[in-house]
Amino acid sequence: MHLLLKILLLFQGFCFAFGFRDFNLGRSKGGNIGSPPLINLDEEVPEPKLFDQIVDHSDPSNKDSYKQRYFVNEKYFSKNAPATVFLMLGGEGRFDARWMITGAWIDYAKNFNALCFGLEHRFYGDSHPTKDVSTKNLQYLTTIQALKDVANFITEMNQAYKLAKDTKWVVFGGSYSGSLAAWMRLKFPHLVHAAVSSSGPLLAVADFREYYKIVVKALHEKTGSNKCQQQITKAHLEIKALMSAEPETLERDFKVCQKFSESTTNDIKNFYNIIAENFADLVQYNEDNRIGSDENSRNITINTVCGLMTIPVNIPAYKRLAKFNAMMLKKNNQTCMDYSYDNMITELRKTSWGKDEARQWMYQTCTEFGFFQTSSAEYKIFGNEFELDFFIQQCQDVFGKKYDKKFLQNSIDWTNTEYGGLNYTVNHVIFVQGTIDPWHALGITYSNNPIDMPALYIKGTAHCANMYPARDSDLPDLKQARTTIAQHLRLWLQHP
């Protein structure tokens, strides 16, 4: 208890450099797959290569091309027939070359003597199909274009490496790229022999209200108690009261960048959304094995934060929540909480290539997926200040008035019709989800075909946990999942 009190006091007075929020629309800054820790520090990370990729696969008369980044690891490859090739698909962020030498898929590559490729997703990292990310140019940022990028890449690599016709390609992906992995097997079964889809959302929805319901369940699952969510609910009630009676108290304790008296209705909605997103970030990546910015960041877990929220001392619930907010500000190198709606929109309207790439992911959510994590669930632990209309307005304010609710729903209907949503029946695909990960609500967690299309639902794990390098402290179910994946790959690679 004394340690928790010290942690509470430690984060009270920090001041840090301001920056755009690191978690937005269910996406961590840089993408939802973190950087894996290197097991062998002496092993060299491969340099990127460039592939001449087609800009618009839907128009054969359009000869425009761009340089798409990819990586190769030939260390474990055996050309003895039948050859095996593993392909890690990039997603909504820069492809990190460290994945080419570590992670569960590299362990599998060693066992199956696989040639390994990593392909960066168009419009992310350094793979720029257009001169900027204007709304007009973002028309080329679609799943169909991305999947055809992969198909073209596989075809060209088969020729470049003189691979035999019976070579078997296995695609891997996590989060959004986990969806792409499953859809590659669905759309291009003649090119892709098998797929491992980790934490991939397959069902597009506008109002993803289930997200925060699972966040609440995760707090209970990891702590074995409802006390944490009760304190969070209490904190929000206190915040609502103070917002009217003592706004200056909230301004000080939550380290906001502007006074509430100067805020708009959308600013206040954004304030509540940021508080909720702090918990979304906490739960979505709880205790995974990515590279943390420092040891303090790695120690921000469900159990430590809920410990702060429920410690039996005479501190108002909202102050405990404010301390967690200070922890997240420190983690994200920010001096204050910038809840300005206009600042957020201004940042997202920038059309020059930048490092964050939040604009690209927002475009994909506004035009294909939705995935908006709203406060519309029955149990409103985070209040009900950010409903679906709040996110629709963001789409319109950033990209234009045509991106309204009807446009979004038509786009979602198209996505689910094109890929089948959760009605997925293709063989040689393994789906992996974690009970802690809120995204599992839009993925496959159960299968009637455990041999040819198994679903692994790993108790106690978060987003893409199975992809990271193994460690002794991994939960037993996580260790077993990695073994099960290897067993299925061995079985499928023996099939013609």
Collect all residues with Cβ–Cβ distance below 8 Å to 42 and sequence separation of at least 6.
none
281 carries an active-site annotation: no
Q: Domains in the chain and their CATH numbers?
A: 2-31+208-412 (1.20.120.980), 49-198+422-493 (3.40.50.1820)
Place of tokens 């009190």: 5
**Residue 463: its pLDDT value, please?**
93
115, 487, 467, 76: which is closest to 285 by C-alpha? 467
160 contacts 167 by C-beta, under 8 angstroms: no
76 contacts 113 by C-beta, under 8 angstroms: yes
**256 bridge partner residues:** 337
Q: 253, 281, 437, 474: which one is catalytic?
A: 437
57 carries an active-site annotation: no
Q: Which two tokens stand for residue 267?
A: 């600013």
Largest CA distance in the chain: 75
d(CA 467, CA 103): 6
54 contacts 130 by C-beta, under 8 angstroms: no
**Residue 291: its pLDDT value, please?**
56
Q: Is 97 left (phi over 0), alpha (psi -120 to 50) or beta?
A: alpha
d(CA 392, CA 404): 6
175 carries an active-site annotation: yes
d(CA 287, CA 283): 9
Consecutive sets of 10 residues in the chain, 496 residues long: mean pLDDT of each? 39 36 56 64 89 97 96 91 92 95 96 97 98 98 98 98 94 98 98 98 97 94 94 95 95 96 96 93 80 62 94 91 94 92 96 92 98 86 92 98 98 98 96 96 97 97 94 95 98 89
H runs (alpha helix) in 142-246: 143-160, 176-187, 210-223, 227-245
Q: Which two tokens stand for residue 215?
A: 């966040």
Q: 28, 127, 175, 198: which one is catalytic?
A: 175
d(CA 257, CA 252): 10
